[in-house]
Structure 1
């Protein structure tokens, strides 16, 4: 029923913890999901730096930011400036290249408050790797939701349970947020054997759940067998992200760049180093330089264990 369990690798960034889930040495991707981070949970003190990620580039992927608590201000070089709040989605497609920053608004820094959310990277299929960059924001009304009998479910992206979210990827995928009261049972979208998705996983963001006869706790990703049709039961009040889809093929990942070829990675490195990628118009006074040795630097089938780092 279960192929693998991955424990998030936690890193304290000075009052704020990030848990790196994907990529992992023995499991680089789940469907098109090539990167998954849990941001927090944290409680920022008044006057703290909170989220302060300087402008940096991406290629070959879409980023999906989703919050349970808190707020982040996104700015990018397409001209987009957009705050994201709980239950909303910021969907940024890098394609041939985009530069963005993620920061806490100064007014929010002054008051402090909670932060808890997820950031995913979704690798673009071959024919869309060099598409034009774009940014879209989706509110709660754009995301189908269900709330009954102690189960709250929101379809964050893709298609599942006969519903379709406004957030659609470039390849088949699903991304579902569950909040479960203790004792509630539910199930992920069907697997390959039932005519569903080839790859699926469950990430426990909060609480404890049972899958089959095993218990899993906050910070664990449960990669499901393609043919398994498990029931999920919440042992305690829990928050779970169900995710998956169809593979897009092997990908190289170097720092913030994802590509199907080394040539694309090398071109992106040269463009950022030479200043050929413009900064966001409203956030152009600083940026993250190209690293000598990034914390993510491997193919999706390679043996190198990525290390947690700042949110990217």
Structure 2
């Protein structure tokens, strides 16, 4: 069997609704540069309700937010105000430190809506961990799409199936959203050393084994992989080159140095991170 590790995402609560977290896991800390993978929803928000992730800090990583359905309003300490909608990409580089919030806009709260998507964290290489924070947004129309024989693949970052995303990445990475009709077959190229598939919806077959939503499948390097949709399915393809060493992860902080994590804790507690304009709430530093 080509499968190296299978992780069942655990369920938690963020911003008032349930998420499934596949990375990090006791079975696997990273896949390529990906150190964190959360599935948000699918969830239905009734009129008057919405997502409320108060301002919080990050260091040493980039957050990658990608939606299948709904909308999130991103605000950060750089002064960015950006709605993210299905098929688009928000890539926020935390570097030496940034704070941001993720909320539902008032006009969307007033009508009710559905929300479904993925947030990933990409660890920065050690030489770039203290880079200046930055934010880029790529509209859905700018990302390449491959359509054939019951499958639609949007290349979010990196290169896949001969197409390259305009999203710049600090290391060799691939990240894609694949929507599959029942019976569709999708090969997973072997050029990247570390590869995984996350099942966001539906059921798939790989080499005669069935996998369901909420499962992250990590494969051995070089093996030939073909995904077959047993029903309508949505999967995320992700991976890249191995990171340049292990990473410490504590709350929203990622670093190759435990001392840097401790400094970030002290900085957030003392109010030394930048603030998010027009959002005076914040998430306190956890006690542990």
TM-score, structure 2 as length reference: 0.97
User: Which secondary structure does the structure 2 equivalent of 1:56 belong to?
Assistant: strand
**C-alpha distance in structure 2 between counterparts of 1:170 and 1:178, whole Å:** 23
**C-alpha distance in structure 1 between counterparts of 2:265 and 2:15, whole Å:** 29
**C-alpha distance in structure 1 between counterparts of 2:18 and 2:47, whole Å:** 17
- 1:252 pairs, out of 237, 240, 248, with 248
Q: CA deviation at 1:266?
A: 1.2
Q: Which residue of 1 aligns with 2:113?
A: 113
Q: Which residue of 2 aligns with 1:147?
A: 147
Q: CA deviation at 1:149?
A: 2.1
Runs of 4+, deviation exceeding 3 Å:
12-15
- 1:212 pairs, out of 193, 207, 216, with 207
Q: How does 1:90-105 map to 2 (within 5 A)?
A: 90-105=90-105
**C-alpha distance in structure 2 between counterparts of 1:163 and 1:16, whole Å:** 35
Q: Is the 8 A contact 1:99 1:278 kept in 2?
A: yes
C-alpha change, 1:227 and 1:150, in structure 2 (3 Å) is same
- 2:264 pairs, out of 268, 286, 299, with 268
1:11 partnered with 2:36: no
Pairs aligned (count):
286
Q: Which residue of 2 aligns with 1:133?
A: 133
Q: Is the 8 A contact 2:204 2:212 kept in 1?
A: yes
Q: Deviations over 1:80-110 (max 9, x none)?
A: 1000000000000000000000000011111
Structure 1 segments unaligned to the other structure (5+ residues)? 191-195, 294-312
Q: CA deviation at 1:227?
A: 2.1
TM-score, structure 1 as length reference: 0.90
Q: Is the 8 A contact 1:99 1:280 kept in 2?
A: yes
**C-alpha distance in structure 2 between counterparts of 1:11 and 1:250, whole Å:** 25
1:199 partnered with 2:194: yes
**C-alpha distance in structure 2 between counterparts of 1:5 and 1:123, whole Å:** 21
Q: Is the 8 A contact 2:5 2:27 kept in 1?
A: no
Q: Which residue of 2 aligns with 1:69?
A: 69
Q: Which residue of 2 aligns with 1:303?
A: none
- 2:283 pairs, out of 256, 273, 288, with 288
User: Which secondary structure does the structure 1 equivalent of 2:265 belong to?
Assistant: helix
Q: Is the 8 A contact 1:15 1:44 kept in 2?
A: no
Q: Which residue of 1 aligns with 2:87?
A: 87
Q: Which residue of 1 aligns with 2:31?
A: 30
**C-alpha distance in structure 2 between counterparts of 1:67 and 1:175, whole Å:** 14
Structure 2 segments unaligned to the other structure (5+ residues)? none
**C-alpha distance in structure 2 between counterparts of 1:25 and 1:42, whole Å:** 27
